[in-house]
Structure formats: C-alpha cells, structure tokens
Structure 1
Amino acid sequence: MEFAKSNFAELGDVIVHYLSAGEGPETVVLLHGIPQTSYEWRYIIPRLAERYRVIAPDLRGLGDTSRPATGYDKKTVASDVWSLVHDHLGINQFYLAGHDWGGPVAFALTTQHQEAVKRLAILDVVIPGDGGDFSQNGRRWHHAFYRTLDLPEALSLGREELVLDWFFDHYGYLPNCISMEARQEYYRTYKKPGAFRAMFEYYRSMPTDIADNQAYIEKEGKLSLPVLALGGDKSFGRGKDAIESLRRVASDVRGGLIPNSGHWIGEEAPDFISEQLLAFFGERESS
C-alpha cells in the first residue's frame, strides 16, 4: 500500500496487522469499523502523516490481523491496541480516532488509559451503554441478526460479497461511494475463514460492552478530555446521534454533522474528516 507501510506485531493471543506512516513528534491512532479494515483510512492517512506519526491497526479478527476464538468485547480489543501502541511501539501519549466499532473500542481504550489519550474523536457511531438506543429502535436491523448464534454464519457462507455489497450500497449517501477497488480489498479479508464469525462477535459482545461502560461511568463519571463527535447527515449516517451520545458520557464535547455523507465517512468525506481531525488534534489547551 503506497499510502502507508504494512507491519505485524505479535501480541499475546493475537498477531496484529497495522499500517504506519509519517514521522511527526506526536502520534495519531486510527481505529476502523465494520465491515472495513485499516484500508478505510487510505485517503486520510497521507493528510495526517504530513504532521503526525500515524498508526492504523486492523482490529482483532478483522483485516489481516489474526482471528482468536474469543476476546471481542471492546475492553479486550482496546487492550490489543494498547499493547501495540504502548508496549510494542513505545508510545506513551497519542491522539485517538475511531469510526463505527472503532469508536467504542477507542472509548474503551480511553476509559482504561485516559492519561495516555490526549484527544478523542468518535466518528459516526454511538457508545454502548450511554443511555440511548444503539440500534435506533431497530433501524439498524442487522444488530439483532448478527447477535443470533450460528444462523448468520450459515446464511452468509459463500455469500460474503452479497452481504458486504448490501451495506456498501445502502449505508452510504451515494450507492457507488465504495469503489470496486476498495470492495475487492474488503472482500479479500472478510472472505477469509473465521472473518465473518469475528465480525459477528463484535455485536454478540454488546451486552458486555454496555455493562463495562455503565460500570465505568457510574464509578468514574464522564470522560474529561476533549472529544470530537461527528455523524454523517445522509442515509444511514448517525447524524446528531453521535454528538448526543458522547455528551452523555463525556463533559467536553464538540462536533456535529458530516455534510453529504452517509456511514462510510472515510470514503465519502475524506477531505472534511481530515480537516476536522487536523484542526481538533492541532488545538492547544489554554493555560
């Protein structure tokens, strides 16, 4: 991949694939969503790498990262990211952004290591256990389906491209917003044995995620670090739900809407996202 270097790190029960770019004195960590991989950041990484060192891992079970049988609750996935960034790469502080399921992973990482996360950006997703309806009263119909045991694997076997294409065609503002080249890259990894099982496990772990987040908020209160929350304003974009969710779990939140974008923000609005992240991460705290 010309936009970034491909790397692997062996971290306990998982071998994590990650992209790296840039040599800035500060680091940005980008966490992808489902059904995507670190490849979703391909338009954004070069922009951020002009100023920052950028690290974009494939999350546990997804992309070219290995697929353990367990560990898909977001605290465990966040621990993978911490092991990569802190223990393996030796980075003590960093900026953090997460899209889709990468957002709850980023939130979980922040609750565990708030001293290390300088600023947090949550893109087109809400936080499980925030007091709202994660599945939008059933509008996101696949949440319940994906949490069903065994049946999704059976129905998807041999039809992986059909499943992925439905979401790529319907969750963006325009049906062609995910190029065929990008789809081929996502097909490559999601058609690997165990990849769809891992994808479903992110949803099956939701009750654990809700309990973990609610326990944190009850004990520690809202996050205090600066948070940027953005939601796509079209189609299946989260709209204002993103910022409303983060305001329930964090005290210093800004953001709003991503114009002319559905859910696939990295492909639909890369310039807008890049500019928002550069401006947000580049702010300096008043003394």
Structure 2
Amino acid sequence: MAQPSKLEYTPLPERAQKVVDNFMPPEDLIQRRIEHFRHVKPRSEDEEGSSENLDGVTFTHHFLLGPGDSETVRWHYVEAGLAEAEVIVFLHGIPDSWYQWHHQMAHLSQTHRCIAPDLKGYGQSGKVAGDYTHEGASNQLFAMLQLIGVSRFNMITHDRGTIQGDFIAANHPQSVIRYGRGEQHLFHFNPLVAPQGDLFMNAPYSGIMEDPTRFVIWVYSWVGGKSIADPEFIRIIQEHSYPGTSKAVPRYFNSSSFRAEWLERRNRLIAAWKCPILIMQGYDSKSQPREFYEKARAYIPNAKDVGVTYLPGGHFWTLESPTETTDAIRHLLLMEA
C-alpha cells in the first residue's frame, strides 16, 4: 500500500515570511500598467530561416517536427553564434519564451553556439494536446536536440524551464556538460511561496491567462524586482500572445504539482546530477528565499562541483540584471567538466 511521504516542508525564514504576508501586487498598480501597455499588438509568427538583430548579433529562427505524443511536436528555436563551437542550450520560464535569454545569447555567441527553444506549449512551439508532464516534455525536447545534432551541451535554465532541465540532467547525464540551474525550488520547499500552482492549474477555467497583457504584467509585478525597459516588456507580452498559449501552458500545472516536483527532486533527480552545477537565484526573489540555497553543495552530493550565485533583482534577473547574469554563466563555463 502506498504511503504519504515523510519529507517535511522547510519553515520560512522571518524575512521571507514578511514577503509572503504581502505577496500579491496591488490591483491599482496592475491597472496602471495595463493602460500603459494597452497599445501592444500581437506579433506575426516567424518563418524558417528568418532572422533579427538583437544587441548587434544575428538571431536565426528555426522550426522542425520532433517525436512526441505518438505523432510529432512542432518546435520553434532560435540560434546565434558559432556553428562548430561548444553548445549552450537555454530554457525559459513562465510567462516567457526564448527571448528571455537574448542578452546572454548575444554576448556568449562570440564563443559558443547558443540555442534557445520555446518550450512545448509556449511561444511559437506546438500547443496540441498530449504529454505535458515535465518528464515527458523534457524527453521530447531532448529528442529535438538530437535531431539538430546537439548531443553534448551546457544547459542554462530559469523557472519552469528548470523543471525540465532537472529531468534532462538526471536522465541524460552523459549529454549535459554543465548545468546553470536558475530560479526554482531545490532541496527546501514551502507551499506558501508557490500559490501559483493552484492559480495556474485552474487557468483555463478562471481566465487568468486569457488576456496576455494582464497576465504578463501580473506575474512580473508579483515576483519581479528591478524595472524592465518598455521595448523589452512589449516583446515579452507579444511572445506570450501567440494563439493557444493560454490553453496549453496550464496543462503543465494539471499534470503535476509543486509538491510532486519537490518530491521527485528529493527522491530521485538530485542524486542523479553528475555535472558541475551553478545555482542561480535572485537575491530579492519573492518566491525563492535565498536562505534555501546557501548549502546547495550538501544537497547535491554527486555533482562534480556546485556553486551558488545570487543575482541582483527579483525573479526575472535575465532581463533585470543582464550583465550580471551573463557573467555568472561565464563563471559556470569555466568550471571543470
């Protein structure tokens, strides 16, 4: 007979508890931001081989069909850099897309081949019904990487992309050179800092994701820190506005739970991570108390090396503190594999 887990939640530090007590953003702030960005129009989808220039670097869009759900999954990914160089794969979170990493990709493309997919259900990737368990989706993502000739790669992740990264690092340790693990619960967990699980699970019915402008503003106002320039914020809204996103993304939250993810890490995944790992967290992250990561070396016993870095700002440090984020990734790339 199955038994409930005996693992216990970690009490919140006093500092983090004060943050939780004033967690949700005020509605008047949300409304002001909505009015400010009400003019934003949807962005047309890209085509295979189309390109754009960001931070002085050419980014090329690609589409392909990969195996999944008994048929195929349509993938969109963006690439920049040196074709024959060591690969870095970037995985985004919610409510983001590949674009979340464009600053880091632009800088690191001078020395590496940088690849950033839209996760299944997000951006311009496929949104058909099927397997939205994180392990199932991660296996499909890994299969896509094999199709484009990426057998060994560094992996940099954020938020929900980190959940899939955790499975890839555990199930395919021979393929992951180094792992930059960003902004996600690790060894410690307390459900008080993860109310979005229930909120997003009910999104298809509550309509919380139906208006992409409101949803992006709400999430960034809730757990964000430093301000993000308007042109970048407009693109974030547009990336979350592609048809079907509001119906596809909640499938992840109906396929698992934050508790289940935590138990999976504690019981199986963490011990299977072998490569050097850099834990990257926002110093002022509201949903990820920095105190939970201070002894990460002890929590990941089988990794070749483990480091921890706290980045300025809140949850969205890839855009809030782009230079510091790039420097942290460069530090990871110097860790002996």
With structure 2 as the length reference, what TM-score do the two structures score?
0.73
State the one-letter code of the partner of 2:292. D
* Aligned residue number for residue 29 of structure 2: none
* Aligned residue number for residue 328 of structure 2: 276
Matches within 5 A, 1:3-152: 3=54, 4-12=59-67, 13-23=72-82, 24-86=84-146, 88-127=147-186, 130=187, 132-133=188-189, 136-148=190-202, 150-152=204-206
1: distance between equivalents of 2:215 and 2:261? 25
* Aligned residue number for residue 193 of structure 1: 243
1: distance between equivalents of 2:250 and 2:107? 32
Matches within 5 A, 1:150-229: 150-152=204-206, 154-157=207-210, 159-174=211-226, 176-177=227-228, 179-207=229-257, 209=261, 212-213=264-265, 216-217=268-269, 221-229=271-279
Q: Compared with structure 1, are the counterparts of its residues 72 and 210 closer, same or farther at alpha carbon in structure 2 (3 Å cutoff)?
A: farther
Q: Compared with structure 1, are the counterparts of its residues 75 and 247 closer, same or farther at alpha carbon in structure 2 (3 Å cutoff)?
A: farther
Unaligned runs of 5+ in 2: 1-51
Any idea what the Cα deviations from partners look like across 1:192-221, whole Å, max 9, x if unmatched? Answer: 33211222222222346456545534xx93
1:262 aligns with 2:314: yes
Percent pairwise identity: 18
Partner SS, residue 123 of structure 2: coil
Q: 2:302 aligns with which of 233, 251, 255?
A: 251
Partner SS, residue 88 of structure 2: strand
The structure with the larger Rg is 2
Kept after mapping to 2: 8 A contact 1:30/1:56: yes
Q: Compared with structure 1, are the counterparts of its residues 243 and 109 closer, same or farther at alpha carbon in structure 2 (3 Å cutoff)?
A: farther
Partner SS, residue 28 of structure 1: strand
1: distance between equivalents of 2:162 and 2:65? 23
* Aligned residue number for residue 241 of structure 1: 292
Deviation at 1:37, TM superposition (A): 0.3
Unaligned runs of 5+ in 1: none
Partner SS, residue 276 of structure 1: helix
Deviation at 1:2, TM superposition (A): 1.2
Deviation at 1:183, TM superposition (A): 2.8
Deviation at 1:34, TM superposition (A): 0.5
Count of residue pairs brought into register by the alignment: 272
198-207 vs 103-112, greater mean Cα deviation: 198-207
Kept after mapping to 2: 8 A contact 1:227/1:250: no
State the one-letter code of the partner of 2:280. L
Any idea what the Cα deviations from partners look like across 1:211-250, whole Å, max 9, x if unmatched? Answer: 6545534xx9342221100110115262243565685345
1: distance between equivalents of 2:149 and 2:268? 26
2: distance between equivalents of 1:44 and 1:50? 11
1: distance between equivalents of 2:294 and 2:172? 22
Kept after mapping to 2: 8 A contact 1:126/1:245: no
Q: CA RMSD in A?
A: 2.4
With structure 1 as the length reference, what TM-score do the two structures score?
0.85
Partner SS, residue 33 of structure 1: coil
Kept after mapping to 1: 8 A contact 2:208/2:215: no
Q: Compared with structure 1, are the counterparts of its residues 100 and 84 closer, same or farther at alpha carbon in structure 2 (3 Å cutoff)?
A: same
State the one-letter code of the partner of 1:186. I
Q: Compared with structure 1, are the counterparts of its residues 246 and 185 closer, same or farther at alpha carbon in structure 2 (3 Å cutoff)?
A: farther
140-149 vs 6-15, greater mean Cα deviation: 140-149
Partner SS, residue 309 of structure 2: strand
Kept after mapping to 2: 8 A contact 1:8/1:15: yes
Any idea what the Cα deviations from partners look like across 1:63-95, whole Å, max 9, x if unmatched? Answer: 110102122211122123212222x11122111
State the one-letter code of the partner of 2:101. W
